[in-house]
Amino acid sequence: MPATDASAVTPAAAADSPPAHASVAAPARASKGTVVLAIGLPGSGKSSWFKRHNIHPLSSDLLRELLFDDAQEQRFQDLVFSNLRSMLKARLIARRPLNYVDATNLTPHDRNSWIKLAKDYGYDVQGLFFDVPVEVCMERHQRRGRVVPEDIMRKMAGKLKAPTFDEGFSKITVVRVKQKEAAAG
């Protein structure tokens, strides 16, 4: 499995974050737990990262496999993601302290419903951003035999927006490929 570097960024450590403003507000509620959203292109290493860390996330690919016997089935996106949100909601109602969502979550719009759901149930939200060059992702796909066509991968790469604290994340961890893999890709 390819090695990755991970670095965590918190709002206080982010150079481009606005300064904290002093204001009078209601005391913050204690968080019931955390929802971690994986963010990255297909082949960026999200599922491998979860496996390496022995984490079993809610996964759009796993749900496609369960529902349609095919992780590559792309025709029923609304059905897949409404079921995935229902599964996360069930975990939040059950007060599971740590929840992971493994999907591409490319844009702030894609991430918004997850963030809103988590916050509605009193959970913090963290981003796990896989910042991996599109060429590396495509090369990985060739090796695993599950190929997203190059034109679609490039279109997805064009949509990918790095997560920001303005979206509601309390922490953002960036995962990158090590230099030697990026050079080899």
Rounded to two decimals, the pTM is 0.79
Per-residue confidence (pLDDT) for residue 16, from 0 to 100:
37
- What DSSP string runs through 14-82? -TTSPPPPP---PPPPPP--EEEEEE--TTSSHHHHHHHTT---EEHHHHHHHHHS-TT--TTHHHHHH
Structural domains of the chain in order of their starting residue, each with its CATH number: 4-12+32-182 (3.40.50.300)
Place of tokens 């896989």: 130
Residues of the chain above pLDDT 70, percent: 79
Tens of pLDDT, residues 76-133? 888 999 999 999 999 999 999 999 999 999 999 999 999 999 999 999 999 999 999 9
Tens of pLDDT, residues 124-143? 999 999 999 999 998 887 77
